[in-house]
Structure 1
Amino acid sequence: MTTTPGVPELPARIRIGYATGSLATGAFGTVPGLLLLPYLTDTLGVAAGLAGLLVLLPKAWDVVVNPFAGRMSDRTHTRWGARRPYLLGGGLALAVTFALIFAGVFRGGAGAAWVAVTFLLTATAFAFFQVPYVAMPAEMTDGYTERTRMMTWRVALLALTILISGAVAPAVRDAAGGGIDGYRAMGIFVACLIVLGSLGAFFGTRGAPIGREEQSEPSLRAQLAVVAGNRPFRVLVACFVAQAAGVAAMLAGVQYFADHVLHNSDAVTYLFVGVVAPALLVMPLWRRVGERFGKLRGYVSASLLITVTTLTLGLSAVLPTPAVYALIALLGVGYAGQQLFGLSMLPDCIAYDTKRTGRRQAGVFTGVWTAGETFGLALGPQIFGLMLQLFGYKSSTTGHAAPQSDLAELGVLLGFTVVPGVIVGLALLFLRRYDLDAEQADQGVAALQGSPSPAL
């Protein structure tokens, strides 16, 4: 069987093995965004604005370290390939440092400093796992459609990981008594998920195609110049990063939305089930949409669904609870498609560039992509934290949310719904200049014409 003429289909074992890395990426991408801000404000007693900044700054470091990690993996030569050693080393380091974030050694200012340092170390470890991991699909297959099949497996497991880590992690925290002890137990639980993901990806991709060795640009500066010259990549990464910030702002607000809008702290689990369960069911449908109408149209449709749904959720204070959960389910449908198409368009851009330039530098592209995505995921909690600060949210050191004013509850609602919806929708403007089709991605035909986008 082939998905593109002359391109063999990857064995299911390799597709599934690669997808298990989503246990690590999904856990790290979900839990800090969900629980780190409440941990800082409602357990360590850190002011909301400062707490958002503490979540942002360590991940902003990725803007520097991710391209470096990509260049290192481009230049790595081992019997395990260029990327797989980083799945093992980076993944295990990520697990250890993640558990340290929630160790609760100090409170107040010292606790904030501890979180900042350990989160910086965790972000560095994540860079050396995530960048090589994201680079692999462009080298494992030359098939335009086959890359979508790979991403279907990966995003499906990513959605499942979001469910497990996002719904179960708060339950583990609460079962361990909440507060410092609860967060310690939760940190260990998530660290175990990360270990499983890194080991699964490392061993599951054994024997996978690793692509032929290509000459890369001689310096990081030259490689980044090539990245800047790839217009499809440039506009795609700008859109995806902006949308990551919007989605992360909503993720950061889940606990606050449950506490101060739904007035049910146990609703966190139900909210995650409401998002992820539909996402798992509709993944094959989104794949068919992409095959029939193209990835770009699928991406735009999924993003617009997120925008419309989140704006409608702005009425949550007056909507019946079943209607809120129905909207959350629609949000999950949109998020599944947005992730699937964005992640499957990335290796298309990389493959196009490899065939256009004749140089192997997937690691640099994925380094820039991951740096941007991680920055967007960190910017989201900062946006939400600023909304809390602006509307007068009160912090606590009890391990439980303090009673809030009507104004603060309005800030929670707007930060969880309207603000993310507007960000996700406006980000689509970047894609007006994306015109990479299947033929260009697969065959590397004539370079795209036109000047760089003024927006970038």
Structure 2
Amino acid sequence: MTTTPQATSLPARVRIGYATGSLATGAFGTVPGLLLLPYLTDTLGIAAGLAGLLVLLPKAWDVVVNPIAGRLSDRTHTRWGARRPYLLGGGFALAVTFALIFAGVFRGGAGAAWVAVTFLLTATAFAFFQVPYVAMPAEMTDGYEERTRMMTWRVALLALAILISGAVAPAVRDAAGGGIAGYRAMGIFVAGLIVLGALGAFFGTRGAPAGREERSEPSLRAQLAVVAGNRPFRVLVACFVVQATGVAAMLAGVQYFADHVLHDPDAVTYLFAGVVAPALLVMPLWRRVGERLGKLRGYVIASLMITVTTLSLGLSSVLPVAAVYALVALLGVGYAGQQLFGLSMLPDCIAYDTMRTGRRQAGVFTGVWTAGETFGLALGPQVFGLMLQLFGYRSSTTGQAAQQSDMAQLGVLLGFTVVPGVIVGLALLFLRRYDLSADQLDGADRKVLTAPAS
């Protein structure tokens, strides 16, 4: 049986338990974007343009499958609730298929085909984990501020997951000897993180409110019609997806930036630590910014921090290394706020839709949201890969980056800094039409709490 969500605070156990799912989402969101492109270009010998396409297309499939996952989870009825069974099934499938991506069974064209197929399966499994997972907060609480508290925990754990998967995964690869063997070991390590996240989220949310179960829209067209009628959601998802593209382009370039701009392959670990460590420390500060200035203003401030620091990193080739890491730390502060406010505004948009329609359709919105976000995260490496191709980057089959021309190194620098900075900054133009306030949502929450069950 499901229960009506309450506007009062959730137990810390539930907040932390839910947040542990970020170990799975953070690992999948980070490692393919960080290491799959170098794996393809510098180990399997795939040309940079084709490699970027291989990273893009399987995730683009999620534009189709994510809304399906949302619709199915809206209709699911079990003794564990509508969403929690997918945390186990989707999570374990995600772990297995992720390890298969980096199995290194083939090289060259056959290797490219293997990666394409296994990455497609992984993207499908991720959809059936991520969509129900993201839908849960809107059903677990109707408190406007409680959603921010939940997302504070989630983004903090997400930052930790990014640090572990982004900084430790390359170290695991290198400790296992690099090349095919190193990537296999890394794939198994990350699969273990995904399993931990799935189990933590499943057991940690046991007994949490799950909302009333209602029928979802019967088709993708009907889902999109629901989304089209929710302007705050439309503009928020557009901004977040475009920004995900910029962030993913930068993520795809971390290894290349370390190799060809800083000329220190080990710098990948330090770059990730520089981004994530400050993020873990400033989450309470960003939460206070949201309480004082509002989530929208906090989102804009955090995004502008990302833009300014990313553009400043364009001077990395002439800056002292200490200055580069200082800018990276400021980038991490901005990224923490951007994630916190974006993810806490999403359930607000879902609550607003309930106020308009009288129906709970969290799976509809999270299906579209995660489809868009996943597409943005896939498009980013393609953008970076095209920059490499345009500037003449040379691929390798040795497991080590080939010596690059000055032009190729410039392409790495611009693809890692200027291009992502411009993308993240311009995306804020979408938010000019976001007008959802706390007062409006308080009304939505009261309506949800007093509405009769259907």
Whole-Å Cα distance in 2 between the matches of residues 44 and 64 of structure 1?
A: 29
Question: What's the counterpart of residue 274 of structure 1?
Answer: 274
**Alignment check: 8 A CA contact 1:217 1:359 kept:** no
Q: Tell me whether 1:12 sits opposite 2:12 in the alignment.
A: yes
Question: What's the counterpart of residue 366 of structure 2?
Answer: 366
**Alignment check: 8 A CA contact 1:52 1:382 kept:** yes
Shift of 1:215: 4.3
**Alignment check: 8 A CA contact 1:352 1:442 kept:** no
Pairing 1:195-214 to 2, within 5 Å after superposition? 195-214=195-214
Whole-Å Cα distance in 1 between the matches of residues 158 and 301 of structure 2?
A: 20
Question: What's the counterpart of residue 426 of structure 1?
Answer: 426
Query: Which SS does the other structure have where 1:7 is aligned?
Result: coil
Query: Which SS does the other structure have where 1:88 is aligned?
Result: helix
The CA RMSD over aligned residues, in Å, is: 1.2
Whole-Å Cα distance in 2 between the matches of residues 70 and 213 of structure 1?
A: 13
Q: Tell me whether 1:61 sits opposite 2:61 in the alignment.
A: yes
Whole-Å Cα distance in 1 between the matches of residues 317 and 217 of structure 2?
A: 55
Q: Tell me whether 1:174 sits opposite 2:180 in the alignment.
A: no
Paired residue type of 1:68: I
**Alignment check: 8 A CA contact 1:214 1:358 kept:** no
Shift of 1:341: 0.2
Whole-Å Cα distance in 2 between the matches of residues 374 and 217 of structure 1?
A: 22
Closer, same or farther: CA 219–109 of 1 in aligned 2, 3 Å? closer
Question: What's the counterpart of residue 452 of structure 1?
Answer: none
Question: What's the counterpart of residue 300 of structure 1?
Answer: 300
Whole-Å Cα distance in 2 between the matches of residues 48 and 381 of structure 1?
A: 10
Pairing 1:126-205 to 2, within 5 Å after superposition? 126-205=126-205
Whole-Å Cα distance in 2 between the matches of residues 170 and 151 of structure 1?
A: 28
TM-score, with length taken from structure 1: 0.96
Question: What's the counterpart of residue 39 of structure 1?
Answer: 39
Shift of 1:240: 0.2
Question: After the TM superposition, which segments of 4 or more aligned residues of structure 1 sit over 6 Å from their partners?
Answer: none
Shift of 1:441: 2.1
Paired residue type of 1:141: T
Shift of 1:443: 1.6
Whole-Å Cα distance in 2 between the matches of residues 356 and 76 of structure 1?
A: 24
Whole-Å Cα distance in 2 between the matches of residues 295 and 81 of structure 1?
A: 30
Residue identity (%): 90
| TM-superposition CA deviations, 1:150-192 (whole Å, max 9, x none) | 0000000000000000000000000000000000000000000
Query: Which SS does the other structure have where 1:10 is aligned?
Result: coil
Pairing 1:330-409 to 2, within 5 Å after superposition? 330-409=330-409
**Alignment check: 8 A CA contact 1:223 1:361 kept:** no
Paired residue type of 1:64: V
Q: Tell me whether 1:410 sits opposite 2:410 in the alignment.
A: yes
| TM-superposition CA deviations, 1:13-67 (whole Å, max 9, x none) | 0000000000000000000000000000000000000000000000000000000
| TM-superposition CA deviations, 1:348-376 (whole Å, max 9, x none) | 00011012101121001000000000000
Whole-Å Cα distance in 2 between the matches of residues 133 and 285 of structure 1?
A: 26
Shift of 1:328: 0.2
| TM-superposition CA deviations, 1:363-395 (whole Å, max 9, x none) | 010000000000000000000000000000000
**Alignment check: 8 A CA contact 1:169 1:186 kept:** yes
Shift of 1:114: 0.2
Between 1:210-219 and 1:81-90, the stretch displaced more is 210-219
Whole-Å Cα distance in 1 between the matches of residues 73 and 215 of structure 2?
A: 13
Paired residue type of 1:70: G
| TM-superposition CA deviations, 1:255-275 (whole Å, max 9, x none) | 000000000000000000000
Query: Which SS does the other structure have where 1:444 is aligned?
Result: helix
Whole-Å Cα distance in 2 between the matches of residues 367 and 210 of structure 1?
A: 17
Query: Which SS does the other structure have where 2:235 is aligned?
Result: helix
Shift of 1:223: 2.4
Whole-Å Cα distance in 2 between the matches of residues 320 and 100 of structure 1?
A: 40
Query: Which SS does the other structure have where 1:8 is aligned?
Result: coil
Whole-Å Cα distance in 1 between the matches of residues 167 and 65 of structure 2?
A: 31
Q: Structure 1: which 5+ residue stretches go unaligned?
A: 1-5, 446-456
Query: Which SS does the other structure have where 2:250 is aligned?
Result: helix
Paired residue type of 1:137: P
**Alignment check: 8 A CA contact 1:22 1:158 kept:** yes
| TM-superposition CA deviations, 1:424-448 (whole Å, max 9, x none) | 0000000000000112223239xxx
**Alignment check: 8 A CA contact 1:45 1:396 kept:** yes
Question: What's the counterpart of residue 452 of structure 2?
Answer: none
Whole-Å Cα distance in 2 between the matches of residues 223 and 250 of structure 1?
A: 32
Whole-Å Cα distance in 2 between the matches of residues 190 and 60 of structure 1?
A: 22
**Alignment check: 8 A CA contact 1:138 1:362 kept:** yes
Paired residue type of 1:131: V
Shift of 1:254: 0.2
| TM-superposition CA deviations, 1:187-231 (whole Å, max 9, x none) | 000000000000000010000000123343344322220111100
Question: What's the counterpart of residue 123 of structure 1?
Answer: 123
Whole-Å Cα distance in 1 between the matches of residues 217 and 416 of structure 2?
A: 43
Whole-Å Cα distance in 1 between the matches of residues 266 and 218 of structure 2?
A: 54
Q: Structure 2: which 5+ residue stretches go unaligned?
A: 1-5, 446-454
Whole-Å Cα distance in 1 between the matches of residues 82 and 141 of structure 2?
A: 15
**Alignment check: 8 A CA contact 1:91 1:195 kept:** yes
**Alignment check: 8 A CA contact 1:167 1:272 kept:** yes
Q: Tell me whether 1:290 sits opposite 2:253 in the alignment.
A: no
Whole-Å Cα distance in 2 between the matches of residues 354 and 292 of structure 1?
A: 26
Question: What's the counterpart of residue 85 of structure 2?
Answer: 85
Paired residue type of 1:213: E
TM-score, with length taken from structure 2: 0.96
Q: Tell me whether 1:254 sits opposite 2:229 in the alignment.
A: no
